Structure 1
Amino acid sequence: MSQRGIELDTSLGYLLKEASSALRSAMEAVLRPLGMTITHYSCLELLAQRPGLSNSELARGAFVTRQSMNVLLQALERDGFVSRPDQAPVGKALPTQLTPLGREHLAQATAAVRTVEVRMLSDLTADEQQAALGILRRMIRSLRDADA
């Protein structure tokens, strides 16, 4: 470490943030022509994997506020990509489902995002890719375990 502080090119936190920023920019670039944002894509992907999530659950999964997710869900519902009941079956939560149009939209976005991931991993061997995934999972678990 220098007298000025952490050397950015050797700071894991800084490099992870830089990688995250580069990934976000590349994803935005491939999603934009589809009329989507990363939050839009994340919401559809979450619903494909876990149908019936509420606004709050989607907001947590997409790392946005409940208010932002509510605005997005209203737009997605208006555009025919998701459906929600008029009244909550239980409590206040309105479970959200993908429509066939939403699934089609998601398939296009998933293919576009996959090209970004393939490009990101292109300089790594299959073993290095698996090692990177394992290391990142362990880092996340270590940080979450420390917060518990």
Structure 2
Amino acid sequence: MEDRKSAPPPAPPPHPARDVTEHVGYRLKRAASALRGAMDKALRRHGLTVPQYSCLELLDQRPGLSNAELARGTFVTRQSMNVVLRGLQDAHLITRATTTDRGRALPAHLTEEGRTRLRAARSAVYAIERQMIDAIPARRLAALLADLDTMADALGD
């Protein structure tokens, strides 16, 4: 057992809070968890997971992204992105070249079926985001988005 005299003093909380549920990190995680649950449920109806949907969105905006670029953009590991891409290929939602002119990266592209599935899934995801946005006053949305970016930047993201 550690000697109490040598133990460091307790760290002061970053802001006044009665318990952990009032901390910013806890509330961010709670909001992220609620969003992920709602997206999981909605996307299941479209035969997609959240990482698959995110991958389709990125490829719609920037066709030809590599596995590594997609992994960074969807917040998963490269190994996990390999699984995501394989599932999307097997479902005929994307195509990937078997060879490439630029190193080892194999660019991915949406198929017509992928675009159709994405449009349907996007409607469901946008409805969830609308539900979240509607819960706060419209005048505060820009500040909320800026604050979230500032917090991520403060942590080096």
With normalisation by structure 1, the TM-score equals 0.88
Amino acid at match of 1:104: T
SS of 2:156's equivalent in the other structure is helix
SS of 1:36's equivalent in the other structure is coil
The farther-off stretch of 37-46 and 66-75 is 66-75
Please point out which of 55, 64, 74 is paired with 1:43: 55
In the alignment, which residue of structure 1 is the partner of 2:64?
A: 52
Please point out which of 135, 139, 156 is paired with 1:127: 139
In the alignment, which residue of structure 2 is the partner of 1:72?
A: 84
Q: Give 1:31 deviation, angstroms.
A: 0.6
In the alignment, which residue of structure 2 is the partner of 1:114?
A: 126
CA shift digits 1:58-114 (9 cap, x unpaired): 112112222221122122112211111111222100011111111111111111001
Change (3 A) 1:6 1:49: farther
**How far apart, in 2, do the equivalents of 1:65 and 1:143 lie?**
19
Structure 1 segments, 4+ long, off by >6 Å, are none
Q: Give 1:123 deviation, angstroms.
A: 2.1
Q: Give 1:6 deviation, angstroms.
A: 7.2
The alignment-based identity, stated in percent, is: 47
In the alignment, which residue of structure 2 is the partner of 1:32?
A: 44
In the alignment, which residue of structure 2 is the partner of 1:101?
A: 113
Amino acid at match of 1:26: A
Amino acid at match of 1:142: A
Bigger Rg over Cα: 2
**How far apart, in 1, do the equivalents of 2:110 and 2:18 lie?**
45
**How far apart, in 2, do the equivalents of 1:18 and 1:111 lie?**
23
Amino acid at match of 1:143: L
**How far apart, in 1, do the equivalents of 2:18 and 2:93 lie?**
46
Unaligned runs of 5+ in 1: none
In the alignment, which residue of structure 2 is the partner of 1:12?
A: 24
With normalisation by structure 2, the TM-score equals 0.84
The farther-off stretch of 63-72 and 9-18 is 63-72
CA shift digits 1:108-142 (9 cap, x unpaired): 11110011111112221211112211111111122
In the alignment, which residue of structure 2 is the partner of 1:23?
A: 35
Q: Give 1:9 deviation, angstroms.
A: 2.8
The aligned length equals 142
If each structure's helix is expressed as a fraction of its own residues, which one has the higher value? 1
Aligned-CA RMSD value: 1.7
